[in-house]
Amino acid sequence: TEIDWKAYMDEVEGFANGTLDYTQLKGDTGPLVYPAGFVYIFLGLYYATGRGTDIRLAQYLFAGLYLLNLLLVFRIYCRTNKVPPYVFFFMCCASYRIHSIFVLRLFNDTVAMAILFLAVNLFLEERWSWGCLIFSLAVSVKMNILLFAPGLLFLLLKRFGLLGCIPKLCICALLQVLLGLPFLLVNPVGYLTRSFDLGRQFQFKWTVNWRFLPEEVFHHRAFHTTLLLAHLAGLGLFALHRWHRSRESILALLKDPAERKHPSHPLSIVFVLFSSNFLGVCCSRSLHYQFYVWYFHTLPYLLWCTPTAKLAHMPKVLLLGVIELCWNTYPSTVCSSLSLHICHGLVLLQLWYGTAPLPAPHNLQPGKKPAPLSKKVH
């Protein structure tokens, strides 16, 4: 249970001893491959736990992080008012893998996701500048948070237009520069290539989602390129046909909101962010067991954000159960990895067909006024 924790502590110990060359920071599992925010946060844990030796205290701290993460997630779900209350039981009590990732294995993915959910809460409160700052902080802990970035960019363009969203993007960039500055001054190329390495190879033995493929296909560059193109295509289709809810061209997002001709339908901030992340998860080159936390707490929303008949609740609960079973199969098998992709595909189909564009208002019967649009944008 302490393999990853020990590696984290070895990585930040070098920084504690004065090493500022990122290429020299290493642990038992290899070189440090996370941005600078990870170093500062885990350096604090390094000192709080007696230089990483008090693992029991670290587990207590991560148990507190787990409860804070649930609080932030519940607050998001209360604002959206989409998910039936009984589903929260499964979120809290029915996932052995998530409990292990948080409290047993102490992965940095959990820290990044808790900070991300804080940013989502700030977006829901219309505190966009603070939200962008916290979002960038989450990115500085682990790069998987960038899967939410296309959705966030869309939301910023819709809310502020092109010129209005530039200051928000500058906030994100400036924080990354400030956090990485000590390492950038010593070895900028080493820091950027290590902490933001988009081409890093994953080991086949740890993959959860591609076990059914031959290993040579898993490592082939053409396969990676295909996944990237599929990801970009998915984002484009969702942006054009599911996130964009106006009769104007999507290029109208570049204008100031006050200059747009047609108002758009209310847009769910949570739907755009969570679906953006889910598309990235579906097209990931490899999912390891700790990566489950990247989207576990978003799954109930993705399943229940579309209109649901009373009899359709049970298949959704079953889908959650099958996904959980796939993630708890160790090592992964051909059957478990195929089942995971089938479940992901079913969720995507529901998101696509369940959020079809609303009918045009000219189809209303004469004499009837259209119902007022809800003011909720969550």
Return the minimum-mean-pLDDT range out of 21-25, 203-207, 234-238, 305-309: 305-309
In a domain, 196, yes or no: no
Q: Is residue 378 very low, low, confident or very high in pLDDT (cuts 50, 70, 90)?
A: low
What is the pLDDT, as a whole number, of residue 369?
47
Q: Is residue 308 very low, low, confident or very high in pLDDT (cuts 50, 70, 90)?
A: confident
- pLDDT surpasses 80 at 313: yes
- pLDDT surpasses 90 at 363: no
Q: Once rounded to an integer, what is the mean pLDDT over residues 288-299? A: 97
Whether residue 11 contacts residue 27, with contact meaning beta carbons closer than 8 Å, is answered with yes
pLDDT digits over 324-338, tens only? 999 999 999 999 999
Return the minimum-mean-pLDDT range out of 130-139, 218-227, 366-375: 366-375
pLDDT digits over 9-47, tens only? 999 999 999 999 999 999 888 899 999 999 999 999 999
- pLDDT surpasses 80 at 377: no
Read off the amino acid at residue 45: L
What is the pLDDT, as a whole number, of residue 186?
96
Phi, psi of 26 (to 5 degrees): -140, 160
Q: Per the structure, how many domains does the chain have?
A: 1
In a domain, 138, yes or no: yes
Q: Percent of the chain scored above 90 by pLDDT?
A: 76
Could you tell me the two tokens for 347?
């969720």
What is the pLDDT, as a whole number, of residue 370?
45
In a domain, 78, yes or no: yes
In a domain, 195, yes or no: no
Q: Is residue 359 very low, low, confident or very high in pLDDT (cuts 50, 70, 90)?
A: low
Could you tell me the two tokens for 40?
């500062």
User: 259: domain range?
Assistant: 1-183+203-354
- pLDDT surpasses 80 at 213: yes
In a domain, 370, yes or no: no
Return the minimum-mean-pLDDT range out of 127-141, 153-167, 238-252: 238-252
Phi, psi of 360 (to 5 degrees): -65, 145
CA distance 62 to 59: 5
In a domain, 360, yes or no: no
Closest CA to 171 of 132, 201, 208, 114: 132
Q: Percent of the chain scored above 70 by pLDDT?
A: 91
- pLDDT surpasses 80 at 341: yes
Q: Beta-strand (E) ranges in the chain?
A: 26-27, 30-31
Could you tell me the two tokens for 68?
């804070």
Q: Is residue 101 very low, low, confident or very high in pLDDT (cuts 50, 70, 90)?
A: very high
More confident site: 146 or 374:
146
In a domain, 341, yes or no: yes
Q: Once rounded to an integer, what is the mean pLDDT over residues 189-193? A: 94
In a domain, 115, yes or no: yes
* CA angle centred on 46, ends 41 and 47, rounded to 5°: 105
